[in-house]
């Protein structure tokens, strides 16, 4: 998508055709800083520190991270070790493991001398496929937004966290239908959950919607239930970091609360994700999806822009109080109206997913 009229992806190769560029998402929305990754450790750090984030995107960056690792040592032992190291950077999103497994499957039978070139080709495929899948999600989700049009008012969509183009290679997952509808001329307005503690909604979703011109309003994470009680939300669309075979959806902490409010107010609640986000091995997401516990400092400290333009970090919690920071929660399938995938929409159930992905029977 575009920043000030220039088309970007969220990960791309530098002109040298080997080093990897990403946007430093910890610097957004205050400045657009492009990072250059040249080693496995730089890639691992970028994922772990969330300079790059979003379930689909970290899969693509990890794939390129393995390319960088192979440049240093393309032996099988090193490759397996480096893939494991990259896979351990974040625990919840399944796309990371999916992308690295795909790379290893391709590379294990590739002669050592050809591995670097093959790896770059495969990583590029992963990135291109992600962008294409998300564009398809946009088309399939557009129908839901078209169906919600009512005369004299915009379609109000609420979203949580950032599942936009910044969270994927391009287009986004939850935001792909929104961009598609906006581009088609539909009058649309997005309620953007702030998404504490890392503020990905206020910092990233608001920024990318604003750069594309999509009308939106940032609200505290606490506000969505009230808006739904008062007919101010037509549908909810969120992304996911891992979806079980049965349709349970792990997504940014707080998603479950919005799903409960949607159900209580008969507001459709949709989860948009490429099939790479589905973990076909899990049948009970609430029980079995590992939830990343991140640093308490993400709760106690916040970064923003002071009046003089300086970017600063400050403490926002009473000085001696501890904090806890589970980064994701799992919304049970029973609360999900449906899933939007690159192959179409389905119910949040094993039967629904298998109707779109019969090869997983």
Q: Which is nearer to its own copies, 75 or 217 (CB)?
A: 217
- How is residue 279 annotated by DSSP? E
CB 174 within 8 A of CB 140: no
Q: Looking only at residues 154 through 193 of this chain, which bind its own copies when binding is defined by CB under 8 A?
A: 191-192
- With tokens 């994701």, the residue in question is 328
**CB–CB of 122/103 below 8 Å?**
yes
Nearer to its own copies, 101 or 313 (CB): 313
Nearest partner of 195 among 227, 161, 218, judged by Cα: 161
> How many residues line the site for its own copies (CB under 8 A)?
67
Q: Is 5 among the residues that bind its own copies (CB under 8 A)?
A: no
Could you say which of 22, 29, 130, 181 contacts its own copies (CB under 8 A)?
29
Looking at beta carbons only, is 148 or 260 nearer to its own copies?
A: 260
d(CA 361, CA 350): 9
CB under 8 A: which stretch of 62-70, 107-115, 170-178, 220-228 binds its own copies?
220-228
Q: Looking at residue 201, what DSSP letter applies?
A: I
Q: Which of 6, 7, 113, 319 binds its own copies (CB under 8 A)?
A: 319
DSSP string, 90-149: -SS-SHHHHHHHHHHHHHHTS-GGGHHHHHHHHHHHHHHHHHHHHHHHHHHHHHHHHHT-
CB of 115 to its own copies, least distance (A): 41
**Does residue number 217 form part of the binding site for its own copies (CB under 8 A)?**
yes
Residue among 155, 169, 330, 348 that touches its own copies (CB under 8 A): 330
* Site track 231-260 with its own copies (rule: CB under 8 A), x = hit: ---------------------xxx-xxx-x
Tokens for 327? Answer: 């980064």
Report the candidate in 54, 137, 55 with the shortest Cα–Cα distance to residue 98.
55
- Pick from 73, 72, 26: which is nearest to 45 by CA? 26
Catalytic: which of 82, 241, 248, 329?
A: 241
- Interior angle at CA 275, CA 208 and CA 93, nearest 5: 65
Q: Which of 80, 114, 231, 264 binds its own copies (CB under 8 A)?
A: 264
Residues 214-248: b if buried by 16+ CB within 10 A, e if exposed: bebebbebebbbebbeeebbbbbbbbbbbbbbbbb
Q: Using the rule CB under 8 A, is 104 a contact of its own copies?
A: no
Annotated active-site residue 241? The verdict is yes
Choose the stretch contacting its own copies; rule: CB under 8 A; options: 70-78, 96-104, 195-203, 339-347.
Answer: 195-203
Q: Are 165 and 239 in contact (CB under 8 A)?
A: no
Among 325, 347, 350, 354, binds its own copies (CB under 8 A): 325
Report in angstroms how near the CB of residue 353 gets to its own copies at its nearest: 22
Segment contacting its own copies (CB under 8 A): 111-119, 134-142, 200-208, 346-354?
200-208
304 in contact with its own copies (CB under 8 A):
yes
Strand partners, 243: 249, 278
Give min distance, CB of 152 to its own copies, in A.
Answer: 20
> Would you count residue 223 as binding its own copies (CB under 8 A)?
yes
Distance CA 341, CA 129 (A): 13
Q: What are the catalytic residues?
A: 241
Name the site residues for its own copies (rule: CB under 8 A): 28-29, 191-192, 194-197, 199, 202-204, 206-207, 209-210, 216-227, 229, 252-254, 256-258, 260-261, 264, 286, 291, 299-307, 312-326, 328-330
């Amino acid at each position: 998508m575009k920043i000030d009229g220039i088309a970007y992806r969220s990960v791309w190769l530098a002109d040298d055709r080997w080093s990897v560029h990403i946007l430093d998402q910890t610097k957004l929305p205050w400045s657009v800083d492009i990072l250059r990754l040249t080693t496995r450790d730089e890639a691992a750090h970028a994922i772990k520190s969330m300079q790059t984030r979003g379930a689909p995107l970290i899969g693509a960056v990890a794939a390129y991270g393995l390319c960088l690792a192979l440049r240093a040592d393309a032996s099988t032992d090193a490759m397996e070790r480096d893939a494991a190291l990259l896979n351990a950077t974040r625990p919840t999103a399944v796309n990371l493991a999916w992308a690295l497994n795909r790379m290893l499957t391709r590379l294990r039978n590739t002669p050592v001398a050809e591995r670097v070139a093959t790896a770059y080709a495969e990583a590029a495929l992963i990135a291109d496929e992600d962008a294409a899948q998300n564009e398809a999600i946009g088309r399939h989700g557009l129908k839901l937004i078209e169906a919600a049009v009512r005369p004299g008012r915009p379609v109000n969509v609420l979203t949580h966290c950032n599942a936009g183009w910044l969270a994927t290679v391009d287009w986004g997952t939850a935001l792909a239908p929104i961009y598609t509808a906006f581009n088609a001329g539909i009058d649309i307005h997005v309620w953007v959950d702030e998404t504490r503690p890392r503020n990905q909604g206020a910092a990233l979703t608001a920024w990318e919607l604003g750069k594309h011109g999509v009308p939106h309003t940032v609200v505290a994470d606490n506000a969505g239930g009230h808006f739904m009680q008062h007919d101010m939300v037509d549908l909810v669309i969120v992304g996911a970091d891992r979806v079980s075979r049965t349709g349970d959806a792990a997504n940014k902490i707080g998603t479950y609360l919005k799903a409960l409010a949607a159900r209580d107010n008969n507001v459709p609640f949709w989860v948009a994700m490429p099939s790479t986000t589905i973990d076909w091995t899990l049948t009970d997401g609430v029980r079995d999806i590992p939830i990343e516990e991140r640093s308490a400092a993400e709760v106690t400290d916040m970064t923003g822009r002071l009046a003089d333009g300086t970017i600063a970090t400050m403490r926002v919690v009473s000085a001696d109080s501890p904090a806890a920071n589970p980064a994701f929660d799992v919304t049970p399938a029973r609360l999900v109206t449906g899933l939007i995938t690159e192959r179409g929409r389905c119910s949040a159930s094993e039967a629904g997913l298998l109707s779109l992905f019969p090869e997983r029977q």
